[in-house]
Amino acid sequence: MKNEILYQGTFLWTGIDYLGESNNGWPRKALESGMLDTAGFKTPSFHMYKTLWNNQPHIHITSQVEDKSLYKVDGQQVVEKKEGKWAERVWLWQDVNRHWNYKEGGSVIVEVLSNCDRVELFQNESSLGIQSLSESPDHELKWAVNFTAGQLVAKGLDGCDASDKVTTAKNASQFAISIDKSTLDVNPHHVAHIEIQLTDENNIAVHHQEIQLQFDVSTNVQLLGLDSGNSRTIDKYQNTKVITSEGRALGIVRVNDNKPAWITISGQGLTSKTVWLNNG
């Protein structure tokens, strides 16, 4: 469509994963067809559309072991296991990972989404070669990599100033907190979003391990809901516990007075943290 001048746009179904359609996958509660999951976290589809419809240089790395990948190694190339299937995939994205934690020496297919014409991939600073969009009709750049712990980096070439990296993480021992508001009014429509990302002792994001988080709040805080974006969990949103997905979780809160309010988050093996609202 991008190359057809007669088309002026596209209708996307859907922008966000939506509840109520399991597509014969119960207990799946939502269809994973959006650019954002149910928690508002970006999916690979988001990065594909960004590389297609945004001129800002962009690169995004995902990967999967060859046995579970849609692709295989054929000589010196990475090819589809079922030739031409990419053109038929219109609903769901393939199963890929954002982490870089695999069995040492295992065969891993690395998939890179980018709007850079050429991208070079590095494993622990050693080049794994260059791939070009002109040779990738599905707009995905692919490498076969024998996994070694460390860091994988993709860099745009020819003046396309973009890069992305994934790093091997240890098990989670802590987490990072991001909150979009530190002050809330007493208003049913005024809420704060609290995002959690598991990290290891070196502050590297942990995407390969899941932990149940506990949210405790002061009496003047209403915990409206918890989510991880995982459509295959059927836990209630109005809960005090949530299991992370790709090491992430989201909490939404509001307050019922203007006094200082707190939210404490904890999990087994993690250092607990407290965030404050309306605290001066």
**Same domain flag for 69 and 152:** yes
**Same domain flag for 151 and 70:** yes
pLDDT digits (tens, 9 = 90+) for 176-212: 999 999 999 999 999 999 999 999 999 999 999 999 9
pLDDT digits (tens, 9 = 90+) for 244-257: 999 999 999 999 99
**Same domain flag for 147 and 77:** yes
Length of the chain: 280
Residue 264 pLDDT exceeds 80 = yes
| Per-residue confidence (pLDDT) for residue 76, from 0 to 100 | 87
Residue 8 pLDDT exceeds 80 = no
Separation CA 88–CA 69 (nearest Å): 16
**Is 107 within the bounds of a domain?**
yes
CA atoms within a 13 Å half-sphere pointing along the CA-CB vector of 79:
9
Average pLDDT, the chain: 94
Residue 75 φ/ψ, nearest 5 degrees = 65, -115
Residue with tokens 């060859």: 66
**Is 158 within the bounds of a domain?**
yes
- Which of 167, 183, 202 marks a domain boundary? 167
**Same domain flag for 190 and 248:** yes
**Same domain flag for 158 and 185:** no
Per-residue pLDDT averaged across 5-33, rounded? 83
Taking CA atoms, 109 is separated from 3, 29, 62, 156, in Å, by: 28, 29, 9, 19
**Is 144 within the bounds of a domain?**
yes
**Same domain flag for 69 and 128:** yes
Domain span at 211: 174-277
Residue 4 pLDDT exceeds 80 = no
| Per-residue confidence (pLDDT) for residue 60, from 0 to 100 | 98
**Same domain flag for 124 and 196:** no
**Is 221 within the bounds of a domain?**
yes
| Per-residue confidence (pLDDT) for residue 234, from 0 to 100 | 87
**Is 192 within the bounds of a domain?**
yes
Q: Tell me the β-bridge partners of 261.
A: 277
Residue 89 pLDDT exceeds 80 = no
Per-residue pLDDT averaged across 143-171, rounded? 98
DSSP string computed for 190-237:
--EEEEEEEE-TT--B--S---EEEEEE-TTEEEEEEE-S-TT----S
**Same domain flag for 160 and 100:** yes
**Is 198 within the bounds of a domain?**
yes
pLDDT digits (tens, 9 = 90+) for 119-136: 999 999 999 999 999 999
Per-residue pLDDT averaged across 152-163, rounded? 98
- Which of 133, 167, 201 marks a domain boundary? 167
Residues 75-81: contacts with CB within 8 Å, 24+ apart? Answer: 78/109, 78/142, 78/143, 78/144
| Per-residue confidence (pLDDT) for residue 14, from 0 to 100 | 83
**Same domain flag for 89 and 193:** no
pLDDT digits (tens, 9 = 90+) for 207-235: 999 999 999 999 999 999 999 999 998 89
- Which of 150, 167, 184 marks a domain boundary? 167
Residue among 100, 134, 103, 102 nearest 119 (CA): 134
**Same domain flag for 151 and 182:** no
**Same domain flag for 144 and 180:** no
Q: The whole model's pTM is what?
A: 0.93
**Residue 253 near residue 227 (C-beta atoms within 8 A):** no
Task: Identify the CATH number of the domain in which residue 228 sits.
Answer: 2.60.40.10
| Per-residue confidence (pLDDT) for residue 21, from 0 to 100 | 82
Residue 15 pLDDT exceeds 80 = yes
On the 0-12 / 13-18 / 19+ scale of CB atoms within 10 A, 110 is buried
**Is 31 within the bounds of a domain?**
no
**Residue 194 near residue 182 (C-beta atoms within 8 A):** no
Separation CA 200–CA 204 (nearest Å): 5
Residue 2 pLDDT exceeds 90 = no
Count: domains in the chain: 2
**Same domain flag for 214 and 255:** yes
**Is 35 within the bounds of a domain?**
no
| Per-residue confidence (pLDDT) for residue 1, from 0 to 100 | 65
